[in-house]
Amino acid sequence: MTFPAIDPVAVSIGPLAIHWYGLAYVAGIMLGWFIARRMLLKPGLWPNDTPPCTAAHLDDFLLWVALGIVLGGRIGYILFYDFASVAANPLRAIEIWNGGMSFHGGFLGATLAMVFFARRHAIPLWSLFDIVASVAPLGLLFGRIANFINGELWGRPSDVPWAMAFPTGGPFPRHPSQLYEALLEGLVIFVVLQIVGRVFRGFRSPGLVTGCFVSLYALARITVEFFREPDPQLGYLAGGWLTMGMVLSLPMLAVGLWALVRARRAAAQPTGRE
């Protein structure tokens, strides 16, 4: 298939250029905020029929989570993927126009933001985790589509009918792994979490939706890594197949499974606290 050459710049006004990648972050955060706000209007979804926080809390949390995602994502990329280059040229750390964001770093940054915000406003931490986890796949969906538009993070060479030759990927047709991730990490996980939270009342067991998100993301990421080209500065870590994305996802899988077990045990205790 022919790669659809889409200008990475969505809107240009004089020297100001607004990129699809930046709009993807904004769209994911704002749509997630909108859906989370509507969930708070349904008391029956939550423990004791009481939403864990107010809509005003979510409004205030927007800035916290945005900073956590961006700072964590950038710092994570430097530490996990590009440390040698930044150590040689420290100014590279602020060259965000050259790309470089790590989901795992953004995940840690957002988690820290939630911990601090929950403590400051006396919000049940695991329920806040669940709210954010239930809408987080939307950000992944938009972000991976933006990666595809930018023609970056492409997959390994392939002869499947839908393989594409990316502008920066050489002459070889490759897996459009960005779209695989958008589908699995974004759309599929979002639908599953909404079903778990709303249909099966998963929000009433604080931590259950969070555990599902973290576990499913780790499994989806490990799966897609078999089709995605590893970062050139790292390559394969071992065996011609192990990548940094896989290594970073394994602890996430363990944490996600632990969160699921913890949520089930807490739900089995009639007097258990969140």
Strand pairing report for 9-13 and 16-19: antiparallel
Is 86 part of any domain? no
Q: Tell me, what's the pLDDT at 53? A: 97
Lowest mean pLDDT among 83-87, 118-122, 217-221, 246-250: 83-87
User: Which structural domain, as residue segments, surrounds residue 216?
Assistant: 21-53+122-267
Q: Is residue 101 part of a domain?
A: no
pLDDT at 273: 46
Specify the pLDDT at position 272: 46
- Let me know how long the chain is: 274
Q: Indicate the number of domains in the chain.
A: 1
Question: Which residues, in sequence order, are CB contacts of 123 under 8 Å at separation 6+?
Answer: 52, 53, 57, 117
Rounded to whole angstroms, the Cα distance separating 79 from 56 reads: 35
Check: CB of residue 49 under 8 Å from CB of residue 91: no
* Within-domain flag for 149: yes
- The proportion of the chain whose per-residue pLDDT surpasses 70, expressed as a percent, equals 96
Query: Would residue 217 count as lying in a domain?
Result: yes
- 214 domain residue, yes or no: yes
Q: What is the pTM of this model?
A: 0.90
31 is a domain residue = yes
| Residue type at 91 in one-letter notation | L
* Structural tokens at position 226: 């078999």
- Cβ–Cβ < 8 Å for 69, 25: yes
Q: How many angstroms separate the CA atoms of 126 and 46, rounded?
A: 12
User: In the 8-state DSSP scheme, what is residue 43?
Assistant: G
Q: According to the annotation, is 144 in a ligand binding site?
A: yes
